[in-house]
Amino acid sequence: GENVEQHPSTLSVQEGDSAVIKCTYSDSASNYFPWYKQELGKGPQLIIDIRSNVGEKKDQRIAVTLNKTAKHFSLHITETQPEDSAVYFCAASIWDSNYQLIWGAGTKLIIKP
Amino acid sequence: EAGVAQSPRYKIIEKRQSVAFWCNPISGHATLYWYQQILGQGPKLLIQFQNNGVVDDSQLPKDRFSAERLKGVDSTLKIQPAKLEDSAVYLCASSLGWSGSRYNEQFFGPGTRLTVL
């Protein structure tokens, strides 16, 4: 079946440095790629998304890039802060009688003071 | 705006027992999702409702799991009987749009952490 691979599983960066999380997807028909942030004890929350007709999208310190040819997309966080510590999930849309999201396994981001 | 509510937050049961989870979505959201999130993994869709009709339940283990969404608002997910491998966080989410719309932001509740002993 279709899947999304996410790397790394854990990422530790110094406060103020940048963090990059990468995902690859298998379904060439996928056209919507959201990123969710999950804090401890909470449900995931959408932080940014990108659609297949766009190569890059930025929102303050967060940016997402998409390479449809290579079937991979990445999340970039600049000037990391302690509140960025969380688990980040990427996802890709698929069509299987209904649109649904296939999720990556998650990346635990640790911001070191 | 109130978020997605779920209860209980935690549940511990023994295998072969039954358990039920409740979800109240954001007011006006037509689509409701139940996900299973096993530790260290991403959410896995179990069932998706459009109002009170089932749109997708292809990954729901129907021999033991059941779900309903009466009156197109609240939903309950039941497991009977539970197995050890059902230990996970069960997340409920809702979105505004119809299932045929591709780009609907999903809003998640805090989840119910189930431990099966």
CB atoms B102 and A43 under 8 Å: no
pLDDT at B104: 78
Mean pLDDT in consecutive groups of 10 residues from the start of chain B, 117 residues: 91 97 94 94 92 90 95 94 97 80 80 97
pLDDT at B2: 81
| pLDDT tens digits along B34-48 | 999 999 899 999 999
pLDDT at B101: 52
Residues 49-108 of chain A whose Cβ lies under 8 A from any Cβ of chain B: 49, 51, 89, 91, 93, 96-101, 103-106
Question: Which one-letter DSSP state was computed for residue B106?
Answer: P
Q: Which residues pair with B114 in a beta bridge?
A: B11, B88
| pLDDT tens digits along A50-108 | 988 889 999 999 999 999 999 999 999 999 999 999 999 999 988 777 778 899 999 99
Residues of A in contact with B41 (CB under 8 A): 105-106
- Interface-testing mutation among A100, A102, A107, A108, with chain B (most B C-beta atoms within 10 A): A100
Nearest Cα to A91, choosing from A79, A80, A100, A78?
A100
Q: Is A10 on the interface with B (CB under 8 A)?
A: no
Q: Is B27 on the interface with A (CB under 8 A)?
A: no
Residue A17 CB neighbour total at 10 angstroms:
12
- The pairing of beta strand A86-95 with beta strand A72-77: unpaired
